[in-house]
Structure 1
Amino acid sequence: MARSTIEQWRMFKAVADFGGFQQAADHVHKSQSTVHHAVNKLEEQLGVQLIEVQGRKTFVTHAGQQLLRRINYLLAETERLENVAQNLKQGVESKLAIAVDEAFPKDVLYQALAEVSNEYPIVHLEVIETILTGANELLNKGTAEIALSPFTLANELSEDLCQLEFMAVCGAEHPLSQKKNVSPEDLKHYRQIVLRDSGIEKKTDIGWLGSEQRWTVSHLATSIELIQKNLGFAWLPRRAIANALQYGLLVPIQLTRGGTRTTNFYLNFRDAETLGPVARSFIGHVRYLTN
């Protein structure tokens, strides 16, 4: 059974941090005698001298410095525990799971996450990256509270967020990079890199899938890497490949038609009445950043 208290350790840390009993008392809003008594009592309970006073100067002993390094972690965890309890009291979620299609703009997602973390620093944010129907499937299963998806929900209550442009691209040294007036018939003779639907229940295909050769991968980053290595072609979101286009690692295919297409992205959630303040904050930031 611990004999010392968190409050005693807080006062000892305040003396160490602010260089004296009066300074610590001002910081913790206690009288100097209260702080002095707490530290003296802690030293008696531990049998170790923590603070040494020489004239007007206060020093932390070697033993005190060793214990201080450990107590910093304990006090930080205590503060987190108290914050969690406060959040629970106010109805704040302890965790928010967001299912996000990999084509959704990363800059928007990351900024929204950062804003939410600034407001609710102790809430655990979980991002589940998906492809095609995967985001909505996780939402329907209750694995995620929010989905950012290229598909609407069955109840048609989805909210339009943004439109993304997809471009037909290949690597800079791929045979297609040198061709003009490429027809869909021409594409059939080259390998297409296709993303696998991460959903299980209702898998779907989207876009042109007419190539005689196809490699199917599970992640957008893998698709981009394969195409940069001149191993195929694909329609990829322009925002995701902007740097690769700028530096010539990827080049647009000169198609006679269908070289670009747009896809809507939707904000989906099941019941607005059940959303907590963290979810509402994330939704608000995503709305603002995509407008």
Structure 2
Amino acid sequence: MIDKLEMFIALANEGHFGRAAEVCRVTQPTLSSAIKQLEDQLGVQLVFRGSRFQGLTPEGQRVLDRARRIVADTRALRDEMRSLKQGLAGNLRIGVIPTALPMVASLTAPFTHRHPNVGVTILSRTSAEILTGLERLDLDAGITYLDNEPLGRVAQVPLYTEFYRLLCATGSPLANRDRVTWAELADLPLCLLTPDMQNRRIVTQHLAEAGVRVSPGVESNSTITLLAHVMTGRWLSILPKKLADLFAASGGLRAIPIVNPEAEHLVGLVAPHRDPPTPLIAALLETARRAAEVKG
């Protein structure tokens, strides 16, 4: 039954029989047969069928909600039994907003040092994708903003406070400034993250509050792409302090504080709210708390 529920969840997540079969590492006929067997066992139609997947029936949607809880509970039980037998082991999938990727090692390094039998997979995701991934069981945890947009029912541990810097080449007219205001960023050739990124929404909000309308010449969901454009000397970017400082440390670039106001937002670890949490998540949350205490 659990295997069939996992296949059903994969189908709901992927919206395609072939892709769901690939996720489950089975053939498409095997997955289709498992869904049909699940329908027979439950006595309801779960999926609208045609030449392709056409969505879940109302009954299928209700089963999906329950299936996610059942599968999550089963995985938690497996983790707990495995940890009792051989200590913590397995793999954690952590979604991380792009601007926090350079800082994630401050969490994963001490965690894997304490728990060498646990592997970690780091995936770059938007804040919305992280919350969706937690709900869909695609992710075990995430690192995202804690104070800017609703998170729903998740466990959370603050990791650090994000401040903002103007990143520019040393040849820029602003390169010798000790600080700039948000209002002074009007009409600059900016390259920024794409609007689906929460960092971009934060930057847009602070610029708007200073009376600046955003019209970037370049947009990307990759901070490396923004860096490459700033290095040409033609563009400037607005990035979190730690990321901007990291880019500027190699020389050729300046990271200038943006003030009036010096905006700040909290970034932290989030995980599905469970009482108690799985052993792996409990250990990750504890490592995050220790990391935050050291920085504090």
- TM bin (shorter chain): 0.5 to 0.7
Matched with 1:164 is 162
Find out whether 1:100 has 2:103 as its counterpart.
no
| Per-residue CA distance 1:105-151 (angstroms, 9 max, x = gap) | 734x2243233333433333211122343322322222111111114
Find out whether 1:121 has 2:150 as its counterpart.
no
Q: CA shift at 1:248, angstroms?
A: 4.3
Q: 1:134 aligns with which of 129, 135, 138?
A: 129
Q: Within 5 Å, give how 1:138-287 maps onto structure 2.
A: 138-151=133-146, 152-155=150-153, 158-177=156-175, 184=182, 186-196=184-194, 205-208=201-204, 210-246=213-249, 248-253=251-256, 257-258=260-261, 260-273=262-275, 275-287=277-289
Query: 2:272 aligns to what SS in structure 1?
Result: coil
The percentage of counterpart residues that share the same residue type is 15
**Are 2:162 and 2:265, in contact at CA under 8 Å, matched by a contact in 1?**
yes
RMSD (CA atoms) = 3.5
**Are 1:131 and 1:195, in contact at CA under 8 Å, matched by a contact in 2?**
no
**Segment of structure 1 superposing worse, 179-188 or 218-227:** 179-188
Q: CA shift at 1:243, angstroms?
A: 4.2
Matched with 1:46 is none
**Are 2:167 and 2:236, in contact at CA under 8 Å, matched by a contact in 1?**
yes
Distance 2:232 2:172 in 1: 8
Distance 2:163 2:116 in 1: 34
AA of the residue aligned to 1:281: A
Could you state the TM-score of these two structures normalised by the residue count of structure 1? 0.57
**Would the alpha carbon gap of residues 274 and 122 (structure 1) be closer, same or farther in structure 2, given more than 3 Å must change?**
same
Q: Within 5 Å, give how 1:11-26 maps onto structure 2.
A: none
Distance 1:238 1:173 in 2: 20
Q: CA shift at 1:87, angstroms?
A: 4.7
Could you state the TM-score of these two structures normalised by the residue count of structure 2? 0.56
**Are 1:188 and 1:212, in contact at CA under 8 Å, matched by a contact in 2?**
no
Which of structures 1 and 2 has the bigger CA Rg? 1
Q: CA shift at 1:241, angstroms?
A: 2.7
- The aligned length equals 203
Query: 1:189 aligns to what SS in structure 2?
Result: coil
Distance 2:157 2:257 in 1: 34
In structure 1, stretches of 5+ residues that fail to align are 1-84
